[in-house]
Amino acid sequence: MWKDKLIKSCKQQSQTVNQSFINFIFPPFCPICESELKHTERFICEDCYSHIKTIESHFCRKCGAPLEEKRKTCKYCKGITFHFSKVRALGTFSTPLIEMIHLLKYERKTLIGNRLGILLGNLFLSDPELLLTDMILPVPLHRTRIRERGYNQSTLLAKMVSSISGKDLCLDAVVRTKATKSQSKLDHEERLINLEDAFRVVLPEIIKNKTVVVVDDVLTTGTTLDEITKTLLNSGAQSVYGLILARAISV
Ligand SMILES: [Zn+2]
Ligand SMILES: [Zn+2]
């Protein structure tokens, strides 16, 4: 009898430990809206994904920012000559996309990258111009940043876009040669200096005469995308597009 009790107690304890472990890996509440997750949901509930403020109809032809009325470009892009052809952004840099990107970049919640990558992949499929491009290239991180973070969030997104679109994934052609400072607290001029010669094409034959879609998480002033675009064009790429999770308007 006592043996049965002991076995039952051990089983219960082991189930509790297993459950705590599962809860640690997959917390039972959505960290954004705090609602209880369904067993099919991982980290973030589907309701939160459905509340992303997507940019669908009117957007700037150049930088992907939402536009209220039917114009081709936004006021910001009128004063700047970007070298990329066009940007498509999934949504605005607002709740809940801000929180999702934070969890993806700084809290190691890489599964969010897969889920957001699916949304980016579907955006790619909906855009006739992007469908005509040749390859998908994530914005590379410097090796020291990769070592700290353990992964490149843009690569997670790009892999998903590549598998959904069937386009080649380009991971080795471009490297980041400078461990640049975070762009978020720099003004436009400082960003340009910070990013000068930050990228280098190491395998130009891969991108030669190709139309390349560069994938990144956030686009604010566009300096990072423009810098990598210039590097790609100088090495023989035909044209460069941006596919971004969130368009942040800071200007
Ligand atoms: Zn939620
Ligand atoms: Zn614009």
| Span 113-156, pLDDT tens digits | 999 999 999 999 999 999 999 999 999 999 998 888 999 999 99
Asked whether residue 224 carries a pLDDT value surpassing 80, the answer given is yes
Q: What's the CA-to-centroid distance between 221 and ligand 2, angstroms?
A: 10
Please give the pLDDT value at position 79: 82
Pull the structure tokens for residue 97. 């996309």
| Span 25-59, pLDDT tens digits | 666 899 999 999 998 888 899 999 999 999 988 99
**Closest ligand to the CA of 249:** 2
Per the listing, tokens 């969130």 go with 246
Please give the pLDDT value at position 196: 75
Percentage of the residues of the chain whose pLDDT score is greater than 90:
67
Could you list the beta-strand ranges (E) of the chain: 86-92, 135-138, 168-169, 174-176, 199-201, 211-219, 239-247
* 144: DSSP letter: H
Please give the pLDDT value at position 35: 94
In the predicted model, what is the mean pLDDT of the chain?
Answer: 88
Pull the structure tokens for residue 92. 């605005």
CB 224 within 8 A of CB 217: no
Instruction: Report the alpha-carbon distance of residue 240 to residue 248 in Å, rounded.
Output: 20
Please give the pLDDT value at position 181: 64
43 dihedral zone (left: phi>0; alpha: psi -120 to 50; beta): left
Asked whether residue 180 carries a pLDDT value surpassing 80, the answer given is no
Helix, strand, or coil (residue 28): coil
End-to-end CA distance of the chain: 74
Instruction: Report the alpha-carbon distance of residue 175 to residue 108 in Å, rounded.
Output: 22
Q: What's the CA-to-centroid distance between 112 and ligand 2, angstroms?
A: 27
Instruction: Report the alpha-carbon distance of residue 243 to residue 57 in Å, rounded.
Output: 16
CB 115 within 8 A of CB 49: yes
**Closest ligand to the CA of 58:** 2
**Closest ligand to the CA of 42:** 1
- Taking residues 202-211, what's their average pLDDT? 97
**Which domains can be identified in the chain, with CATH numbers?**
53-247 (3.40.50.2020)
Residues within 5 A (CB) of ion ligand 1: 30, 32-33, 45, 48
Q: What's the CA-to-centroid distance between 115 and ligand 1, angstroms?
A: 14
Instruction: Report the alpha-carbon distance of residue 157 to residue 118 in Å, rounded.
Output: 8
Q: What's the CA-to-centroid distance between 82 and ligand 1, angstroms?
A: 36
Q: What's the CA-to-centroid distance between 179 and ligand 1, angstroms?
A: 34
Instruction: Report the alpha-carbon distance of residue 123 to residue 131 in Å, rounded.
Output: 10
* Total residue count of the chain as it appears in this document: 251
